[in-house]
Amino acid sequence: MINDRYPVMQHIADNTHVDKAKYQALYQASVDDPDAFWGEQGKRIDWMTPYSKVKNVSFDPHNLHIRWYEDGTLNASANCLDRHLAERGDTVALIWESDDGDTVSQVTYRELHAKVCRFANVLKAQGIQKGDVVTIYMPMVVEAVVSMLACARIGAIHSVVFAGFSPDSIAGRIIDGKSKLVIVADEGLRGGRAIPLKGNVDEALANSDVTTVEKVIVFKRTGGDIDWVEGRDLWWHDLEAEAGSDCPAAEMNAEDPLFILYTSGSTGKPKGVLHTTGGYMVYASLTHEVVFDYKPGEVYWCTADIGWITGHSYLVYGPLANGATCLLHEGVPNWPGPSRLAEIVDRHQVAILYTAPTLIRALMAQGEEHFAKLDGKSLRILGTVGEPINPEAWRWYHQVIGKGRCPVVDTWWQTETGGIMIAPLPGAVDAKPGSATLPFFGVQPQLVDATGAPVAGEGNLVITDSWPGQMRTVYGDHERFIQTYFSTFPGNYFTGDGARQDEDGYFWITGRVDDVINVSGHRMGTAEIESALVAHHDVAEAAVVGYPHDIKGQGIYAYVTLNAGVEATEELRLALRQWVRKEIGALASPDLIQWAPSLPKTRSGKIMRRFLRKIAANECEALGDTTTLADPSVIDTLIQTRLNK
């Protein structure tokens, strides 16, 4: 079954941007002569000053630099808006559907342009200048997109914080970015619940370490009760009413920062991944068009939240640069019931649906009958992202949602890569359920062993050369950038993932090889959750690992050692889950907490996580050699009291 193949469908191949022959030729050209290939592709973007140089990159950790189109100038918002006005001004850019489904509104490119210009003037009036960092903590509303594009318009750097993160997480990101302004809504709505977004920002700003924020702009979504700080807090609608509608787009260098987005690594605090303007725009728009085979007029729906990289590249910058009509859904695609997704698809005649395996598995668990009413004739392409998709879920997606007519594109990429790296182009590459298949143009993946030597079969996934969408640095910590991505396997970008390559050259991502876990497609560092746990006064020590979870892909399993004299009660367990929720956000709350009298450590005191992973996965037979442990009996105790049996 593993080599189950779904050939390219004729009706797709007959009318596609890239067919089989073109894929092979273009891929070859892209790696043989990157300057020529990307020099040509760069023309899909409007430049204010054309570039004369294309690629200027070294992956050598001692001389690391990554520059694309470095002497060109452009503006990202102008590429998403102004360039469409002459021919497509009245095309719908965003279709918004409210959480409860009762309200649908449409915004054309012309209207979106006007909103963005007005709000860009608001930002300027508040003293925001080129290079300033603006924090955005917004629900899925049109104004979230407006906020991002307004920053881009004036050269401010946006830092979007996912609206599920806690006040502490917001504070950490504001401090790191030295952000001067926060954009927030009074409340968000998701699955019928109101989320106190403004309240969370108030709490974040009450932290005495947050010293840079001067103003908070509040968008009224629900009209719910909120606190108000005179002089600091300002209503969006008041400011907008006073702002002019003319705002020329700032001329930005290709390598000027466009945004920061924080993501978890295996150690320390989340890193501010910095993306710049030129290469990112070229890469986001090209991948969006080619991987989803986007055709003008089609309705495209990406279910990702704007707080994640998928929301940045494939809800905002890629599709809008291509003049696409994007569906923006405020809520959850399986609320109030599993048929919501199908209803939205039919109501808006969605042609391209891009979602995560976790949602597919959740829908699958509800039963096919919820999709019996789905007409689904509008659907043409289905995409998935965020974690490995199990072949069973792939087939279900293909069959039940796509009615067997729609190619499934499994797209592997990362916050750091800016855009899709490995995926089957729907008109060119036969699919195999569970495999992200072959690399995108210019992407050169390689498997290496622990010493960095190339291997066939299975290994660590590295990328041997640059592509335009690549992150440029960790905001404020370039050393950490070099350390994290370029020093493990010098000369290569290290992804942190493991993969297998089959006899057809197809890549099968096997998951993270570091201490990063992927819960419902949300990426988290186990170290972050551990440090949240040990910050609780009853906890002496904690170790967190991922374990296989039917719906979420991975669940969070925490081993907790309590302080002497503290009683291990059910209440404490609940309190600890609540604690992590408060420290980081609900998405980081452990699914299982096992009380551990002690943790398995080497004689030098290092926690042996591989044993903990196995016990959490309920794979206790083949634990391997435990003799290096200071006290091997610890393992037996943990096995006996394990929670995932």
Where does this chain bind ligand WTA (CB under 6 A)? 263, 308-310, 385-388, 410-415, 436, 495-497, 509, 511-512, 518, 523
Q: Is 190 annotated as a binding residue?
A: yes
How many Å apart are CA 128 and CA 148, to the nearest integer? 13
Inter-helix orientation angle 167-177/197-206, to 10°: 60
**Token output for 93:** 């850019």
Q: Is 111 left (phi over 0), alpha (psi -120 to 50) or beta?
A: alpha
The CB-of-357 to ligand WTA minimum distance in angstroms stands at 8
Q: Is 361 annotated as a binding residue?
A: no
Q: Give the DSSP letter of residue 415.
A: G
How many Å apart are CA 645 and CA 633, to the nearest integer? 20
How many Å apart are CA 38 and CA 45, to the nearest integer? 12
Name which of 30 and 263 has its Cβ closer to ligand WTA.
263
Q: CB atoms < 10 A from the CB of 8, how many?
A: 20
Name which of 48 and 513 has its Cβ closer to ligand WTA.
513
3-class secondary structure, 316: helix
Q: Is 113 annotated as a binding residue?
A: no
The CB-of-436 to ligand WTA minimum distance in angstroms stands at 5
Name which of 121 and 492 has its Cβ closer to ligand WTA.
492
The CB-of-500 to ligand WTA minimum distance in angstroms stands at 12
Query: The tokens 């007959």 sit on which residue?
Result: 14
The CB-of-512 to ligand WTA minimum distance in angstroms stands at 5
Q: Is 569 annotated as a binding residue?
A: no
Q: Give the DSSP letter of residue 368.
A: G
Of all residues in this chain, which one has the CB nearest to ligand WTA in the complex?
415
Q: Is 110 annotated as a binding residue?
A: no
The CB-of-40 to ligand WTA minimum distance in angstroms stands at 26
Q: Is 414 annotated as a binding residue?
A: yes
The CB-of-461 to ligand WTA minimum distance in angstroms stands at 9
- Cβ neighbours for 616, distance < 8 A, ≥ 6 positions apart: 545, 546, 547, 557, 592, 642, 644
Q: Is 520 annotated as a binding residue?
A: yes
Name which of 325 and 518 has its Cβ closer to ligand WTA.
518
Q: Is 297 annotated as a binding residue?
A: no
Q: CB atoms < 10 A from the CB of 54, how many?
A: 21
Q: Give the DSSP letter of residue 70.
A: T
Question: Which residues is 276 bridged to in the sheet?
Answer: 257
User: CB of 428 within 8 A of CB of 23?
Assistant: yes
The CB-of-445 to ligand WTA minimum distance in angstroms stands at 12
Largest CA distance in the chain: 73
Q: Is 510 annotated as a binding residue?
A: no
Name which of 289 and 497 has its Cβ closer to ligand WTA.
497
Name which of 427 and 496 has its Cβ closer to ligand WTA.
496
Q: Is 579 annotated as a binding residue?
A: no
Do β-strands 350-355 and 516-519 pair in parallel, antiparallel, or remain unpaired?
unpaired
The CB-of-318 to ligand WTA minimum distance in angstroms stands at 12
How many Å apart are CA 417 and CA 468, to the nearest integer? 9
End-to-end CA distance of the chain: 28
Q: Where are the alpha helices (DSSP H) in 367-467?
A: 391-396
User: CB of 456 within 8 A of CB of 438?
Assistant: no
Q: Is 636 annotated as a binding residue?
A: no
The CB-of-424 to ligand WTA minimum distance in angstroms stands at 11
Identify which of 270, 150, 183 has the alpha carbon closest to the alpha carbon of residue 516.
270
Q: Is 448 annotated as a binding residue?
A: no
Name which of 91 and 390 has its Cβ closer to ligand WTA.
390
**Token output for 285:** 């728009």
Q: Answer positive or negative: Cα dihedral of 110, 190, 348, 303.
A: positive
Q: Is 349 annotated as a binding residue?
A: no
Name which of 172 and 386 has its Cβ closer to ligand WTA.
386
Q: Specify the DSSP element, H or E, that contains 287.
A: helix 278-291
- Cβ neighbours for 282, distance < 8 A, ≥ 6 positions apart: 38, 41, 42, 44, 45, 68, 69, 468, 469
The CB-of-57 to ligand WTA minimum distance in angstroms stands at 21
Name which of 376 and 496 has its Cβ closer to ligand WTA.
496
Name which of 198 and 512 has its Cβ closer to ligand WTA.
512
Q: Is 193 annotated as a binding residue?
A: yes
Q: Is 310 annotated as a binding residue?
A: yes
The CB-of-571 to ligand WTA minimum distance in angstroms stands at 34
Strand order from edge to edge, sheet including 215-219 = 233-235, 215-219, 181-185, 133-137, 157-160, 257-263, 271-276, 473-474
Q: Before 336, cis peptide (omega within 30)?
A: yes
**Token output for 122:** 């608001």
The CB-of-515 to ligand WTA minimum distance in angstroms stands at 12
Name which of 147 and 495 has its Cβ closer to ligand WTA.
495
Name which of 386 and 600 has its Cβ closer to ligand WTA.
386
How many Å apart are CA 261 and CA 270, to the nearest integer? 9
Annotated binding site for Mg(2+): 534, 536, 539
**Binding residue numbers for ATP:** 386-388, 410-415, 497, 512, 523
Feature table: binding site: 190-193, 310, 334, 386-388, 410-415, 497, 512, 520, 523, 534, 536, 539, 581
> Which residue ranges make up the annotated binding site for CoA?
190-193, 310, 334, 520, 581
